[in-house]
Amino acid sequence: MNIPHRLNKIEVGDIFRQYGDAYRKSHKLPLQSLKAMNAIEICRTAALGGHVDVCDSCGHSRNTYNSCRNRHCPKCQSLAKERRLKARKKELLPVSYLHGVLTIPYELNPIALINQKEIYDILFKSGTQTLRELGLDPKHLGAEIGIIAILHTWGQNLMDHPHLHCIAPCGGLSEDGKKWLLPRKTTKRKKFFVHVNVVSDLFKKKFLYYFKGLYLRGKIKFVGKIANLGNRQEFEKFCGNLLKKKWITYIKKPFGGPEQVIEYLGRYTHRVAISNERIIRLENDRVTFRYRDYRDGNKNKQMTLDVFEFIRRFLLHILPFKYFKIRYYGLFNNRNRKKKIKICKEILGSLVDKEELPKTESWEELLFRLTGKDPRICPCCGKGKMVRKGKLLPERQFAIKI
């Protein structure tokens, strides 16, 4: 994907290009962090090559450089998000949806940083099993539900804060596959799936069950400040304290149909730890960015960090190689999604014709649809079209900086 470079704006890539070498020399980093840093540094620069566009009217020439396509790059996620959402739109059902957030206690954060794959896996497993089992329970719904689960590992201040966003239709497919069932619990105005306290309690018990299982099989590492948890007695005490706590879960009141779901998914699917738009300035080796303080009425505030601390916090959220942070369950499971979505739409009377399915868009068409700005129009004369005239080879092959 080739997109013109944004001008006059401090970005994560600028910070990495200026301070990345010094940070790598003073910190030992895992390979996935090194690869992400390198990709973001050279994204849309001459290092990756690109192509030359020339206006067919005035002759204006423009170099456009290739993107890195790294999933942690703030530049590369907006259009990737739009493409994925457009592809998923045809699979959404014409019903209201709920948005749930399941969060593990902060005491588990140090363990999650050292055991990312293991802890994130049981977060997905325990969180989605909780919702699916409650959905199958006749007291609440008695049907199979669909879940889109998205892992986030950060808070607004860039610190580690693993939690799972779950978006699911308010209702499900009956066991015999012939009816669309609605939740039993209702209020005067809205239909609810199940009370948040029920979700929280079951989620906590499931997570701790799988967590203890990993511990007993020797799959969890305890080093540094949490090394004492390697002792069985200390570990049992730790888990006992977690069991006594009320785990924070959140179930939002059901919202509208497919269009609102697309908007919701757009906020969460391809988001990275911080967007370039939130960065305000970089000066005197300090980075200032905007954040929302949830503990103070969601007020918008500014935070200034030493540049090395900013980089450290950003790198906390680099996921293991090939780790899927968006997963689909139940009715939306990849294995049988097409079949079950078709059945649901037949029951709900909303089958779509083949011609309604989304067509593939070029990045220029997609950018024009989203912003109203057509990158194919000459920025100089405003009349001619930019025509590709040649390729720009990468300046040199980049090895991963260590």
What string of DSSP letters covers 78-139? HHHHHHHHHHHHTT--SS-EEEEEEE--GGGHHHHHHSHHHHHHHHHHHHHHHHHHHHHSTT
Residue 371 domain-assigned (yes or no):
no
Higher pLDDT, 233 or 92: 233
Statement: residue 6 has pLDDT above 50: no
Cβ-contact 250, 100 below 8 angstroms: yes
Closest CA to 317 of 155, 103, 166: 155
| H/E segment holding residue 169 | strand 160-169
Cβ-contact 60, 381 below 8 angstroms: yes
Number of domains forming the structure of the chain: 1
Residue 136 domain-assigned (yes or no):
yes
What does the pLDDT read at residue 34? 96
Q: Which domain holds residue 254?
A: 91-273+318-351
At 27, the pLDDT band (50, 70, 90 cuts) reads very high
Average pLDDT over residues 161-176: 93
Residue 262 domain-assigned (yes or no):
yes
What is the rounded CA–CA span in Å between residue 79 and residue 73? 12
Per-residue buried b or exposed e for 183-199, using 16+ beta carbons within 10 Å of the residue's own CB: beeeeeeebbbbebebb
Dihedrals phi, psi of 100, to nearest 5 degrees = -115, 145
Statement: residue 355 has pLDDT above 60: no
What does the pLDDT read at residue 181? 92
Residue 265 domain-assigned (yes or no):
yes
Q: Is the pTM of this model over 0.85?
A: yes
Average pLDDT over residues 39-53: 92
Residues with Cβ within 8 Å of 34's Cβ and at least 6 positions away in sequence, in order, are 24, 400, 401, 402
What is the rounded CA–CA span in Å between residue 148 and residue 168? 6
Residue 64 domain-assigned (yes or no):
no
* Tokens encoding 99: 């948005």
pLDDT > 90: percent of the chain: 58
Closest CA to 37 of 273, 246, 349, 269: 273
What is the rounded CA–CA span in Å between residue 255 and residue 263? 11
Per-residue model confidence as pLDDT tens digits over 111-131: 999 999 999 999 999 999 999
Closest CA to 97 of 229, 256, 271: 256
Average pLDDT over residues 343-347: 92
The CATH number of the domain holding residue 259 is 3.40.1310
Other C-beta atoms within 10 Å of 277: how many? 11
Statement: residue 188 has pLDDT above 50: no
What does the pLDDT read at residue 32? 94
At 294, the pLDDT band (50, 70, 90 cuts) reads confident
Closest CA to 131 of 196, 77, 182: 196
Residue 280 domain-assigned (yes or no):
no
Residues with Cβ within 8 Å of 301's Cβ and at least 6 positions away in sequence, in order, are 290, 291, 292, 293
Other C-beta atoms within 10 Å of 314: how many? 24
Cβ-contact 40, 69 below 8 angstroms: no
Average pLDDT over residues 242-259: 84
